[in-house]
Copies of this chain bind each other. A is one copy, B any other.
């Protein structure tokens, strides 16, 4: 599965370097959202630079391999995307655990049926949405 992402890199004309391999490999180990700083702390002993980590995560995001997560703490968190599904960039319906940060995506878009009605009433031309539900996931909820 790491191989799959390195393929994507090569296919798009990016070079498959040692730092990039290390970053992709590290990233694939996280189940929960992570920051660039965390990745850097794991890889700096191998000689991977901070700037490279930031650059590479940004690249992986642009390639839809990672999704960005706003955990409201002011800094970027990333997570492996559910990007193999039909619309990689349109995962706007999420449910986020406040304890562990895990994110699930809602299969059905509960808002879909309401959008037309809202557009009419608000006078807006609605183009997109971003729905985050917050709560506690089953394994954190004791």
Contacts and interface: CB of A to CB of B under 8 A. Distances in A.
A59 interface: no
Contacts of A95: 118, 122, 124, 126
What is the interface residue range for chain A against chain B? 20 to 34
A124 B97 contact: yes
A123 B115 CA distance: 26
Interface in A43-94: 70, 72
Closest A-B pairs by Cβ, 8 of them: A123-B138, A110-B114, A126-B135, A124-B135, A128-B134, A127-B135, A125-B136, A130-B132
Interface of A: 70, 72, 95, 97-98, 104, 106, 110-111, 114-115, 117-119, 122-138, 141
